[in-house]
Structure 1
Amino acid sequence: MTSPYLAAAQRRFDELLAEVLRLVDHESPSHEPAAVARSAELVAEVGTRLLGRAPATLNREGGHHLLWRLGSGPRRVLLLGHHDTVWPLGTLERLPTSVTDGVLRGPGCLDMKTGVVQALMACGLVGVALGPQALDGVTILVTSDEETGSATSRAVIEAEAQGCAAVLVLEAAGPGGALKTARKGVSLYRVEVTGLAAHAGLEPEKGVNAGVELARQIPRIAALSDHALGTTVTPTSGSIGTATNTVPAHARVAVDVRAVTAVEQQRVHREIRALGPRTPGARVTVTGGINRPPMEEATSRELLATAQRVARELGARPVAGVAVGGASDGNITAGLGIPTLDGLGAVGDGAHADHEHVDLSYVAERTALLAGLIENLTG
């Protein structure tokens, strides 16, 4: 390694933590446009301080995404993060930000505001150590709707990833600081049944019970799972009818599908789309589809090896790889066939849970690891 990134990150730890606290102290739930817009402004301010340049702001269909294209050369490395969270406004009153005994707590600290600042700081360290030309071809994209499926940012992610040699995703690390080398793909469906309403007491025989039909469909849906292959098909939330004395004319259920491979994801897609009614007179409609393709292990294998070598050269703790069930925007880039390594953000536990926290002893190491990876991947 040509620069002492770890020592530099350790010297600037207090600065980095202060920036993280600024972001965590502003709530940014995905469904609150004003809060997300202000969060984007704060991230832009942090990035401008650390990189010496302001981002482009992409406001698309309510999304507030930030894009730094560093240098003028072709795109080579994309650092990918998000600044929205799952926490509703007012959560800070119940779970205030705190730093105690080397642990940072607060809604969104792990997922993933610490990772965003680490990425910005890492690029800044490379620029200081090697000059701005060392960042030529590096792109940083921080989106605002990852937690809700990346509807407004997906096209931006795909466009910025095209042609890159690597995508580094700033989601939280796995257990023990492991980097995430594989993620299940996600498909989301809505199965709706239309029947015929009738009075439940006077003439139920004249109705077509949508609830009964849905009850027949749910076991068929669940049976599409193949646990030996890691495929889960889970009926989740739903509803039946509108009144207690009426044969229900409508019923619905949401279905969450997770698959390790694209082959399995496509198999479930075909079969769930082919569902037909079992009750005479009922109609079954299936909407939705594949949200994120699987991030298969092959897309991260070489990047993991590079990260492990960089960690050794830095004198940082060793890093392992782990496959996880949850999806991220890394699934999108991996689905395009672009080498993708995830889990490069903060180390801690409790994403989306009250005990969300960051182990601050890893922050300098992970910032340095990112800097080292950037240097290696840009040559």
Structure 2
Amino acid sequence: MTTHKAVPLSVDAMIEDLRTLVEVESPSRDLAALKASATTVATLLEGRLGGRAALVETEGGPHVHWSAGGDPKVLILGHHDTVFPLGTLERRPFTVEDGHATGPGVFDMLGGVVQAIHGLAALDDRSGVEILVSADEEVGSRSSRALIEERALACGAVLVLEGAADGGGLKTGRKGCGTFEVSVAGRASHAGLEPAAGVNALIEAAHQVLDIAELGRPDIGTTVTPTVAAAGTLDNVVPAAATIIVDVRVETAEEKERVESAFAALAPHLDGAEITVQGGVGRPPMPESASAELFAVAKRLLPGIEGMAVGGGSDGNFTAALGVPTLDGLGAVGGGAHADHEYLVVDAMAERANLVGGLVNAIRHTARSA
């Protein structure tokens, strides 16, 4: 039987640490802002947990890696980049009111980072624990994926600090997700004098949108959604080029392969048109089997907690695909990710911090007993 005694934690201290992180804005791809944010995260880690937090410099921004030392047993995984542009804080400053904390990134996912740090700080022994806070999760984790996978395999268990599911549930499964860009090349001509001399890329794109939409299989969890399209230059020119952006979500590896093959096989409808496809399902599906063992522990620690599979992806998709036990949604309770009404429930912060601490203790106890 796994046991862990929840300890009193200072919610006021957590709120102040959250304020510190939120007030250093960190939009993805803004390297100067991300450097300031990473330095702030590292300072918080060192101040609360001791030791040294290393900045791992990459083209996607600096990732923050902290280790308690000893044989690695559990990786706590987060990110410090947010989707909000610089200046959002001025319009939507950090505020605590009516039991909610608001401000850019409080739910996704700075609140989870703060909670995990305080949960670990309450433990007498933190050996075997690593924390990795990446700089590019919101834009695909291209510069952090290899490091995430390396540390996940070394540790053997992963706790992901993404915000909780609806109602505070944990995320026990995730769809694989990715983006495709379909480019259409046609031929320009005068729309009034010689419309037939051109190859209308916009018309070809319309055919492709309809073909692409047919690839979805919502009955088995596969969604294929054209989301952005662009074509043309002037109102009197037959468009020579068009692009279509498509969001894809799948629940199984088989569907990933089917959809990627279907995109590769897209063919033009108009004579003279050409189709080029880039992209793919970059985050593989996270099956619920990957979280089953850790979720059972979470249920013993917090009996009322629920688990659910969700459509969004996270870095937990990568670690689960490696066969590493992975439990997601351990961050803030709240909602409004990526939106102006984003919020964190203050009263849930201590409970979630203690849950992370309890899971860490349980994982390390199991590893020692093995």
User: In which range does the TM-score fall when normalised by the shorter chain?
Assistant: over 0.9
Task: Describe the superposition over 1:115-157 as per-residue Cα deviations: whole angstroms up to 9, x where unpaired.
Answer: 011112222222xx2x3xxx33221000011111111111111
The residue aligned with 1:262 is: 253
Are 1:311 and 2:308 matched, yes or no?
no
Preserved contact between residue 58 and residue 67 of structure 1 (Cα < 8 Å): yes
The residue aligned with 1:16 is: 14
Query: How does the TM-score come out when normalised to structure 2?
Result: 0.95
The residue aligned with 2:362 is: 376
- The alpha-carbon distance between structure 1 residues 340 and 349, as it changes in their structure 2 partners (threshold 3 A), is same
Q: Which of these residues, 180, 183, 187, is aligned with residue 178 of structure 2?
A: 187
Q: Which of these residues, 274, 286, 292, is aligned with residue 277 of structure 2?
A: 286
**Which AA in structure 2 matches 1:145?**
D
Q: Which of these residues, 86, 98, 112, is aligned with residue 83 of structure 2?
A: 86
**Once the 2 structures are TM-superposed, how far is the Cα of residue 326 of structure 1 from its aligned partner?**
0.8
| Residues 136-151 of structure 1: pairs in structure 2 closer than 5 A | 136-151=127-142
Corresponding pairs, count: 364
**Once the 2 structures are TM-superposed, how far is the Cα of residue 359 of structure 1 from its aligned partner?**
0.7
**Which AA in structure 2 matches 1:355?**
H
Distance 1:229 1:373 in 2: 32
The residue aligned with 1:173 is: 164
**Once the 2 structures are TM-superposed, how far is the Cα of residue 102 of structure 1 from its aligned partner?**
2.0
Task: Describe the superposition over 1:186-242 as per-residue Cα deviations: whole angstroms up to 9, x where unpaired.
Answer: 121110111111111111111111111111111110000001001110111121121
**Once the 2 structures are TM-superposed, how far is the Cα of residue 82 of structure 1 from its aligned partner?**
0.5
- Equivalent position SS for 1:48: helix
Q: Which of these residues, 202, 221, 228, is aligned with residue 237 of structure 1?
A: 228
**Which AA in structure 2 matches 1:113?**
L
Q: Which of these residues, 247, 265, 287, is aligned with residue 274 of structure 1?
A: 265
**Once the 2 structures are TM-superposed, how far is the Cα of residue 306 of structure 1 from its aligned partner?**
0.5
- Equivalent position SS for 2:155: coil
Preserved contact between residue 60 and residue 136 of structure 2 (Cα < 8 Å): no
The residue aligned with 1:315 is: none
Are 1:41 and 2:39 matched, yes or no?
yes
Task: Describe the superposition over 1:277-314 as per-residue Cα deviations: whole angstroms up to 9, x where unpaired.
Answer: 111111111111121011111111111111010224xx
Distance 2:295 2:41 in 1: 28
Preserved contact between residue 192 and residue 253 of structure 1 (Cα < 8 Å): yes
Preserved contact between residue 186 and residue 327 of structure 1 (Cα < 8 Å): yes
The residue aligned with 1:65 is: 63
Are 1:337 and 2:337 matched, yes or no?
no
Preserved contact between residue 187 and residue 265 of structure 1 (Cα < 8 Å): no
Distance 1:145 1:90 in 2: 19
Let me know the Cα RMSD of the aligned residues: 1.3
**Which AA in structure 2 matches 1:358?**
L
**Which AA in structure 1 matches 2:342?**
E
- Equivalent position SS for 1:16: helix
**Which AA in structure 1 matches 2:293?**
E
- Give unmatched runs, 5+ long, in structure 1: 313-317
- Equivalent position SS for 1:271: helix
**Once the 2 structures are TM-superposed, how far is the Cα of residue 2 of structure 1 from its aligned partner?**
6.6
- Give unmatched runs, 5+ long, in structure 2: 366-370
Preserved contact between residue 300 and residue 339 of structure 1 (Cα < 8 Å): yes
Are 1:367 and 2:353 matched, yes or no?
yes
Distance 1:101 1:279 in 2: 59
Distance 1:251 1:99 in 2: 46
Preserved contact between residue 63 and residue 153 of structure 1 (Cα < 8 Å): no
Are 1:153 and 2:149 matched, yes or no?
no
**Which AA in structure 1 matches 2:351?**
E
Q: Which of these residues, 67, 70, 73, is aligned with residue 76 of structure 1?
A: 73
- Equivalent position SS for 1:358: strand
The residue aligned with 2:193 is: 202
Are 1:354 and 2:340 matched, yes or no?
yes
**Once the 2 structures are TM-superposed, how far is the Cα of residue 262 of structure 1 from its aligned partner?**
1.4
Preserved contact between residue 178 and residue 282 of structure 2 (Cα < 8 Å): yes
Distance 2:3 2:286 in 1: 32
The residue aligned with 1:224 is: 215
**Once the 2 structures are TM-superposed, how far is the Cα of residue 3 of structure 1 from its aligned partner?**
5.8
